[in-house]
């Protein structure tokens, strides 16, 4: 049965999410793409997640009454981890309540002795003494005495004598990574911008950053147009192998999209594109090589060898990017063929290099990437979860876009939430996990994954669930929405085969987690934190992820935290801080790549993880 | 009166010079472009300059009889600094007798701990383990483990995965200055070549060097085609200022000539042009900026500011050079607007950074460059000698090419030597100095530079000299060759005005020498060595240079040595040795640029130096 969702609008962005009444604010925020910080793990005790709810919140919880003063409550302050939504709501989120990856990254970089905000791109306004008799120092030496040593390319070197003289030896030196890339007339120190890009296989996301203040000025995202050459990385690699200009085609396609995003960001923030001096990129190994137009074919064959482990620093113009003509591009380092720069970005953004206790980072997608930090060591593995969480191979599966059932709750009755204010058309990853978990709880799915008639009960719920068991291809299936309720005019069901796909996907990730934990000698209950990254676009309900065995049940609920798009956060970090870039390079080298495909341990763990845990 | 010259052919080169009978072998060799070492300053005591004379030598001197054994003399061994030519001669020069700038440069670099021959371009053949399950290291990391850390450009990075696999992970890595520039199939370690170029305002010279053995494989030279835009640097600078594409035109013109020379060198030595991985360039500041297409206009205005003091390292392809597609180019650092990379090359090739005692280096040309080393310090100055030594502004002046009177001797009668086996057409710089010195000795020129009738004598010589005083434009002139003797059918004379031009040219250089010596507190007689570089193309007779006051008379004759083309020698040194390059950068920074144009001292010294010394 589909519940009527209520809209929650988040300010200052004006973004709206439609959620079921009773949904916590934290979760509603994630649905709107906003990640609120929750250092105490959602216990309501640290007060870090405070937001101002203008209207629509349910009554304060006891934790809120304890943590907030009556005056604060009266003024509308609430804790996002506690407060639920009861009606259409407006919520103001102060900057201090946001999960600030920048802050997290910069804190890690403090040790390097760099100032808080020390991007690779730096500007400095100078007024040089003009040459005169008795002071005939070369132009470069003159400039160097003012701004310190630098390298310079031939193009600017050719222009420099003219530039200096046209501007009476005054102007703004623009340095990127120790290279002088421009000398601009007048004082332009405040106009210093960078772009951080998450090169997702499916979705591209980019932020425009003010490198002078550290502020995020605009955000843009769009579908990766490379999907027209194949949904997954392997089909794109094959396109490169099978088509003479395949690689150029794929590279041009994504560069064109990035250029369009830069245009959009620059227009949004009213920033001249020529004042964008650097772009940083984070993506999986294949996406990064495609961007750089490096032959990805070895990534499509055993043993999946990347071209370069290190980050790649290169002139943006060589990639065809339209920014400052001598802008730099930095592509994050990778760990292995299937553990790419996005994972390095995640390790960076999650602060795993400095984790106090054993910490697990899980990025759930077609490839599940798992990173474990323990005793100062780092392990990373990738596991082929398959596309079930992305909605593929599930009969009525779909991505987390408008019309997707993203949440299923069974509390007295079955309730669903749909993304966007539209009738449901399918089931996305988080909805699939919810549904499976609830059906396990109510005995509709057995621990081996069989859909079966629940034990007879006299409640209305038991009768409803029993009624929903319908035959499909000679096997039982679960009817989630009747044809009259859907946007397609067809019923939405979960088939026996869908459950098997979920078992495979969930089992693969869980087996990867177990192998890493075993390799490091870490018991799940001793994990300090389990961090969820990605990708998913929607909130995975922690208890449900544990119920289906995707995450170890022994981990305390509050230790499981959602970090949002860590790939983008990492790209942003390395744009803002040179020290973060060095740290990313170190982290990539420090992390041991565990190859699960050759691990006998993994085969055993996978077989075990295919069985749903007992309730 | 023109004497009949005799040909002297030098082996193994087969080069021939035509010289007056009685000419020392050392001088004849320089005329043929061969510089023989003379550590003892031509005293005939060290034996370093020994050559094998097949025929044509005069009788051995007493110094030769002392230094060489009777057996050696019988076998034809002679000392080039002692033996004179009496008839057509053939001379074999062993490699050990040559002035080896490479050796000199490498000895200086020894301190840096580099091996003897350590060019910036290095090749290494490797057989890498092929990737397999359990060894999925990135391609770059795999290569790096074999050859050490390196940088890599995008172009090669894009090709590398394919290259490695096509060649089963075996091949030759080519490194230039810490950058991997190629990975070639098979073992090509022995095919490693570089080109060193002397960018003269008038003449370009280049050598092809085997970077594996250090050997010089071929040499080429041609007129600098930029001369069609102006003979001197200022007229070329003005061409850049006055013509929209002037700079591009000048740059393309010289690059085209260099490409033609590279083709010629590669063909001579049967070396593929694509195996030439580096070119090094030495020239005056303007020539270097024109090559790099850096606006030279500030070099044409007070205070003559160079664009960059440091050496410029850049991709050769960006200059339009046709070599290996990712070959490097290195342009030597400069000291000032008129003290360029050619002077730095000279300082390097002359070993002045390590000079034991006070040492003077003089490069005589349109601009005289003077360097003084004393007490571990270095001073450099440039002085506008004017083009008299190049034959310009002298009525019958000409460059040191075929038909030029390059030597004048008055010993009982007046004898001249002409370059090439042709009648004389004019007077070049060395001939001009000879003539002036001889006329001073015989009282035909007074110390203030007036041409006057010599004191009457009853000798045939006195009569001949007196007869040669002829009127020219109302002033006395000296008749060097009658119209019946010349190739032009017109007489060759030295006019009163010519003598003034010589006084100006010689005085400017000598004043520069005096100012530097005074600045450093060095007395001329304490100079350890006076080294003559360049440019002149012919041998300046030391006693004559002293007679006219060009060089201080207080310097012992044997301390004046000729180093040949030190600009080319320096360019060769930095091609052969990375340490030499670092040394060149240090020397350029260490050398204090003394601006003579603002020096009152210089004005006084110049006025003094205009007067010829008393005999």
- DSSP code of residue A473: T
Confidence of residue B146 (pLDDT cuts 50, 70, 90): very high
Contact partners, residue B110, CB within 8 Å, separation at least 6: B116
What would the mean pLDDT of A316-328 be, rounded to a whole number?
A: 97
Asked if B592 and B380 count as a contact pair (C-beta separation under 8 A), the reply is yes
What would the mean pLDDT of B572-581 be, rounded to a whole number?
A: 92
CB contact under 8 A, B157 and A309: no
Residue to test with chain A: of B251, B255, B298, B313, most A Cβ within 10 A: B298
Asked if A16 and A72 count as a contact pair (C-beta separation under 8 A), the reply is no
The residue ranking higher by pLDDT, A373 or A350, is A373
Q: Which of residues 148-167 of A touch B (CB under 8 A)?
A: 152-154, 157-162, 165
- DSSP code of residue B252: H
- DSSP code of residue A391: T
Percent of chain B with pLDDT over 90: 69
Residues A326, A330, A331: CA angle, nearest 5 degrees: 140
Specify the pLDDT at position A95: 80
Confidence of residue A113 (pLDDT cuts 50, 70, 90): low
Residue A22 scores a pLDDT above 50:
yes
To the nearest whole angstrom, how far is the Cα of B150 from the nearest Cα of chain A? 11
3-state secondary structure of B90: strand
Question: Does the CB of B302 have a partner CB in chain A at under 8 Å?
Answer: yes
Chain A residues near residue B139 by CB distance under 8 angstroms? 298, 305-308
CB contact under 8 A, B295 and A135: no
Residue B535 scores a pLDDT above 70:
no
What would the mean pLDDT of B319-338 be, rounded to a whole number?
A: 97
| CB count in 10 Å sphere of residue B8 | 26
CB contact under 8 A, A307 and B157: yes
CB contact under 8 A, A309 and B158: no
Confidence of residue B412 (pLDDT cuts 50, 70, 90): confident
Average pLDDT, chain A: 90
Identity of the highest mean pLDDT range in A24-28, A228-232, A588-592: A588-592
The secondary structure element, H or E, covering residue A315 is strand A312-315
Q: Which ranges in A243-340 belong to alpha helices (H)?
A: 246-269, 285-292
Residue A116 scores a pLDDT above 80:
no
Please name the member of B134, B154, B308 whose beta carbon is closest to the beta carbon of A314.
B154
Confidence of residue B103 (pLDDT cuts 50, 70, 90): low
What would the mean pLDDT of A463-488 be, rounded to a whole number?
A: 94
A474-496 as b/e: b if 16+ CB within 10 A: eeebbbbbeeeebeeeebbbbbb
Place of tokens 């294949």: A286
Tokens at B526, concatenated:
């304490």
Please name the member of A138, A165, A303 whose beta carbon is closest to the beta carbon of B309.
A138
What would the mean pLDDT of B328-341 be, rounded to a whole number?
A: 96
Tokens at A35, concatenated:
């990640």
Please name the member of B157, B165, B303 whose beta carbon is closest to the beta carbon of A131.
B303
If you count residue pairs, one on A and one on B, with CB atoms under 8 Å apart, how many are there?
133
**Left (φ > 0), alpha (ψ -120 to 50) or beta: where does B28 sit?**
alpha
Residue A115 scores a pLDDT above 60:
no
Confidence of residue B388 (pLDDT cuts 50, 70, 90): confident
Residue A102 scores a pLDDT above 70:
no
A282-308 pLDDT per residue, tens:
999 999 999 999 999 999 999 999 999
Record the pTM: 0.86
B198-245 pLDDT per residue, tens:
999 888 999 999 999 988 899 888 889 998 998 889 999 999 999 999
The secondary structure element, H or E, covering residue B582 is helix B578-590
Please name the member of B132, B140, B334 whose beta carbon is closest to the beta carbon of A308.
B140
To the nearest whole angstrom, how far is the Cα of A190 from the nearest Cα of chain B? 28
Please name the member of B138, B160, B307 whose beta carbon is closest to the beta carbon of A309.
B138
Residue to test with chain B: of A137, A145, A154, A344, most B Cβ within 10 A: A154
Short-list A430, A429, A436, A473, CA closest to A451: A436
A415-454 pLDDT per residue, tens:
998 887 789 999 998 899 999 999 999 999 999 999 998 8
B287-307 as b/e: b if 16+ CB within 10 A: bbbbbbbbbbbbbbeebbbbb
CB contact under 8 A, B133 and A597: yes
Is the preceding peptide bond at B475 cis, omega within 30 degrees of 0?
A: no
What is the rounded CA–CA span in Å between residue A580 and residue A574? 5
3-state secondary structure of B286: helix
Specify the pLDDT at position B111: 53
Residue B2 scores a pLDDT above 70:
no
Confidence of residue B118 (pLDDT cuts 50, 70, 90): confident
Specify the pLDDT at position B37: 80
Please name the member of A139, A318, A334 whose beta carbon is closest to the beta carbon of B307.
A139
Place of tokens 């490194």: B175
The residue ranking higher by pLDDT, A77 or B42, is A77
Least confident of A6-20, A62-76, A205-219, B98-112: B98-112
Specify the pLDDT at position A109: 54
B270-321 pLDDT per residue, tens:
999 999 999 999 999 999 999 999 999 999 999 999 999 999 999 999 999 9
Tokens at A449, concatenated:
């994954």
Specify the pLDDT at position B46: 85
Q: Which of residues 430-469 of A touch B (CB under 8 A)?
A: none
3-state secondary structure of A612: coil
CB contact under 8 A, B307 and A157: yes
User: What are the CA-CA distances from residue A197 to residues A280, A287, A588, B10, B354 (Å)?
Assistant: 6, 12, 19, 68, 54
Residue to test with chain B: of A298, A312, A338, A585, most B Cβ within 10 A: A298
Chain B residues near residue A141 by CB distance under 8 angstroms? 308-310
The secondary structure element, H or E, covering residue A320 is none
Specify the pLDDT at position A537: 43
Specify the pLDDT at position A107: 56
Percent of chain B with pLDDT over 70: 96
A546-567 pLDDT per residue, tens:
999 999 999 998 898 888 888 9
Question: Does the CB of B66 have a partner CB in chain A at under 8 Å?
Answer: no
What is the rounded CA–CA span in Å between residue B228 and residue B246? 12
Residue A402 scores a pLDDT above 90:
no
CB contact under 8 A, A337 and B302: no
Question: Does the CB of A140 have a partner CB in chain B at under 8 Å?
Answer: yes
Chain B CA closest to residue A597: B133
Q: Which of residues 532-561 of A touch B (CB under 8 A)?
A: none
Name the phi and psi angles at B558, rounded to 5: -70, -15
To the nearest whole angstrom, how far is the Cα of A161 from the nearest Cα of chain B? 6
Chain A residues near residue B161 by CB distance under 8 angstroms? 294-295, 297-298, 305, 307
What is the rounded CA–CA span in Å between residue B171 and residue B189? 10
Specify the pLDDT at position B381: 96
Specify the pLDDT at position A456: 73
What is the rounded CA–CA span in Å between residue B612 and residue B608? 9
What is the rounded CA–CA span in Å between residue B130 and residue B132? 6
To the nearest whole angstrom, how far is the Cα of A76 from the nearest Cα of chain B? 54
Question: Does the CB of A316 have a partner CB in chain B at under 8 Å?
Answer: no
Q: Is A375 exposed, middle or buried (0-12, 13-18, 19+ CB in 10 A)?
A: exposed
Confidence of residue A598 (pLDDT cuts 50, 70, 90): confident
Q: Residue B79: beta bridge partners?
A: B50
The ipTM of this complex is 0.85
Q: Which of residues 336-395 of B touch A (CB under 8 A)?
A: 336-337
The residue ranking higher by pLDDT, B271 or A111, is B271
CB contact under 8 A, B157 and A308: yes
| CB count in 10 Å sphere of residue A505 | 28
Question: Does the CB of B589 have a partner CB in chain A at under 8 Å?
Answer: no
Percent of chain A with pLDDT over 90: 69
Chain A residues near residue B380 by CB distance under 8 angstroms? none
What would the mean pLDDT of B323-332 be, rounded to a whole number?
A: 97
Residue to test with chain A: of B138, B141, B311, most A Cβ within 10 A: B138
Chain A CA closest to residue B163: A295
Question: Does the CB of A317 have a partner CB in chain B at under 8 Å?
Answer: no
CB contact under 8 A, B133 and A598: yes
CB contact under 8 A, B138 and A305: yes
Chain B residues near residue A294 by CB distance under 8 angstroms? 157-158, 160-161
Strand ordering across the sheet containing A203-210: A216-223, A203-210, A193-199, A276-283, A328-331, A312-315
Beta pairing class for A50-57 and A77-79:
antiparallel
Residue to test with chain B: of A145, A295, A320, most B Cβ within 10 A: A295
């Amino acid at each position: 049965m589909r519940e009527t969702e209520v809209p929650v609008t988040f300010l200052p962005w004006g973004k709206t999410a439609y959620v079921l009444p009773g949904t916590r604010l934290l979760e509603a925020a994630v649905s709107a793409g906003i990640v609120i910080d929750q250092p105490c793990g959602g216990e309501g005790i640290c007060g870090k997640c405070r937001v101002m709810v203008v209207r629509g919140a349910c009554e304060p919880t006891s934790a809120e009454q304890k943590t907030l003063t009556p005056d604060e409550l009266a003024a509308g302050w609430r804790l996002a981890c506690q407060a639920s939504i009861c009606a259409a709501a407006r919520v103001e989120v102060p900057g201090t309540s946001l999960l600030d990856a920048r802050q997290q990254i910069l804190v890690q970089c403090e040790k390097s002795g760099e100032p808080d905000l020390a991007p690779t791109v730096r500007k400095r306004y100078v007024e040089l003494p003009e040459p005169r008799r008795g002071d005939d120092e070369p132009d470069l030496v003159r400039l160097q005495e003012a701004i310190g040593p630098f390298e310079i390319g031939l193009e600017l070197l050719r222009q420099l004598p003219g530039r200096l003289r046209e501007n009476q030896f005054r102007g703004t030196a623009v340095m990127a990574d120790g290279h002088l890339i421009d000398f601009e007339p007048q004082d332009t120190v405040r106009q210093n911008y960078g772009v951080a890009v998450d090169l997702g296989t499916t979705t591209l996301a980019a932020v425009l950053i003010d490198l002078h203040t550290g502020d995020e000025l605009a955000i843009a995202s769009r579908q990766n147009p490379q999907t027209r050459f194949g949904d997954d990385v392997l089909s794109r690699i094959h396109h490169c192998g099978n088509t003479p200009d395949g690689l150029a085609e794929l590279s041009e396609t994504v560069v064109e999209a990035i250029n369009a995003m830069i245009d959009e960001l620059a227009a949004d923030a009213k920033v001249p594109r020529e004042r964008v001096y650097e772009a940083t990129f984070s993506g999986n190994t294949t996406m990064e090589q495609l961007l750089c137009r490096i032959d990805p074919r070895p990534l499509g064959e055993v043993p999946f060898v990347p071209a370069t482990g290190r980050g790649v620093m290169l002139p943006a113009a060589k990639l065809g990017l339209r920014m400052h003509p001598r802008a730099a591009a930095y592509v994050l380092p990778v760990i292995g063929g299937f553990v790419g720069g996005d994972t390095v970005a995640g390790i960076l953004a999650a602060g795993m290099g400095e984790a106090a206790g054993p910490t697990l980072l899980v990025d759930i997608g077609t490839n599940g990437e798992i990173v474990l930090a323990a005793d100062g060591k780092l392990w990373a593995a990738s596991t082929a979860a398959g596309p079930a969480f992305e909605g593929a191979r599930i009969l009525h599966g779909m991505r987390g876009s408008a019309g997707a059932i993203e949440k299923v709750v069974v509390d007295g009755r079955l309730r669903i939430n749909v993304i966007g204010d539209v009738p449901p058309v399918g089931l996305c990853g988080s909805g699939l996990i919810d549904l499976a978990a609830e059906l396990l709880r109510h005995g509709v799915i057995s621990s081996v994954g069989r859909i079966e008639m629940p034990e007879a009960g006299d409640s209305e719920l038991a009768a409803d669930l029993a009624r929903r068991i319908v035959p499909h291809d000679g096997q039982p299936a679960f009817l989630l929405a009747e044809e009259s309720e859907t946007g397609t005019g067809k019923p939405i069901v979960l088939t026996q085969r869908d459950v098997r796909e979920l078992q495979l996907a969930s089992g693969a990730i869980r087996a990867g987690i177990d192998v890493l934990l075993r390799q490091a000698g870490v018991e799940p209950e001793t994990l300090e934190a389990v961090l969820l990254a990605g990708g998913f676009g929607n909130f995975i309900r922690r208890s449900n992820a544990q119920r289906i065995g995707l995450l170890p049940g022994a981990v305390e609920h509050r230790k499981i935290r959602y970090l949002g798009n860590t790939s983008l956060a990492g790209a942003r970090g390395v744009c803002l801080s040179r020290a973060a870039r060095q740290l990313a390079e170190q982290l990539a080298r420090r992390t041991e790549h565990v190859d699960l495909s050759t691990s006998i341990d993994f085969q055993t763990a996978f077989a075990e993880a295919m069985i749903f845990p007992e309730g």
